[in-house]
Amino acid sequence: MVSLGTAAKLPVIDFSNQNLKPGTSEWDSAKHQVQQALEEYGCFRASSDQVVELREAVFGAMEEVFDLPLETKKLYVSDKPFRGYFGHPSKLLESMMIDEAQIAENIEQRLTTTLWPQGNTSFSKTLVSFTELSTRLEKTIRRMILEIFGMDKYVDEHIDSTNYLLKLMKYKAPQTSEPTVGAVAHNDMNTLTILYQNEVDGLQVQSKAGEWIDVEPSPDSFVVMVGESLYIWLNGGLSPAYHRVVVKGNKARYSAGLFSASRGGYRVKAPEELVDDKNPMLFKPFDYEEFLGFYLTQVAPGAVPVHHIQHPCCPFVLRYRLGGQQLTHKTLGAMADKHGPVFSIRLGSNKVLVVSSWEMAKECFTVHDKVFSTRPNTVASRLLTYDSAMFGFAPYEPYWREMRKIATVELLSSNRIVKTRGYEELEYLVMVKYLQEEMKSLQENLQEVKKHLQGKIKSLQEKLQEETNLQ
Q: What does DSSP say about strands 286-287 and 267-268: parallel, antiparallel, or unpaired?
A: antiparallel
pLDDT score of 252 = 94
Specify whether the CB–CB gap between 310 and 97 falls below 8 A. no
CA distance 455 to 62: 85
Looking at residue 318, the DSSP 8-state letter turns out to be: E
Starting from the edge strand earliest in sequence, which strands make up the sheet with 93-98, in order? 12-14, 43-47, 221-226, 192-197, 253-262, 162-171, 93-98, 84-87
Q: pLDDT band at residue 302, thresholds of 50, 70 and 90?
A: very low
Beta bridge partners of 225: 43, 193
Specify whether the CB–CB gap between 394 and 388 falls below 8 A. yes
pLDDT score of 471 = 65
pLDDT of 273 strictly over 90: yes
Q: What is the pTM of this model?
A: 0.67
Mean pLDDT, rounded, for 254-275: 93
pLDDT of 303 strictly over 50: no
CA distance 373 to 354: 16
Q: Which has the minimum average pLDDT: 40-54, 138-152, 365-379?
A: 365-379
Tell me the CATH architecture of domain 12-280: Sandwich (2.60)
Q: Which has the minimum average pLDDT: 31-40, 260-269, 354-363, 369-378?
A: 369-378
Buried b (16+ CB within 10 A) or exposed e, 143-179: bbbbbbbebeeebeebeebbbbbbbbbbbbebeeeeb
pLDDT score of 306 = 32
CA 67 to chain centre: 31
Measured between its terminal Cα atoms, the distance across the chain in Å is: 70
pLDDT of 307 strictly over 70: no
pLDDT of 349 strictly over 80: no
Mean pLDDT, rounded, for 117-134: 95
Looking at residue 272, the DSSP 8-state letter turns out to be: G
Q: Which has the minimum average pLDDT: 160-174, 299-313, 323-337?
A: 299-313
CA distance 171 to 87: 11
pLDDT score of 313 = 38
Percent of the chain with pLDDT over 70: 90
Looking at residue 304, the DSSP 8-state letter turns out to be: B
Percent of the chain with pLDDT over 90: 47
Specify whether the CB–CB gap between 212 and 249 falls below 8 A. no
pLDDT score of 295 = 67
CA distance 339 to 285: 9
Burial class of residue 315 in the structure, from the number of CB atoms within 10 Å of its CB (0-12 exposed, 13-18 middle, 19+ buried) = buried
The residue ranking higher by pLDDT, 32 or 463, is: 32
pLDDT of 319 strictly over 50: no
Domain ranges of the chain: 12-280, 420-470
pLDDT of 234 strictly over 80: yes
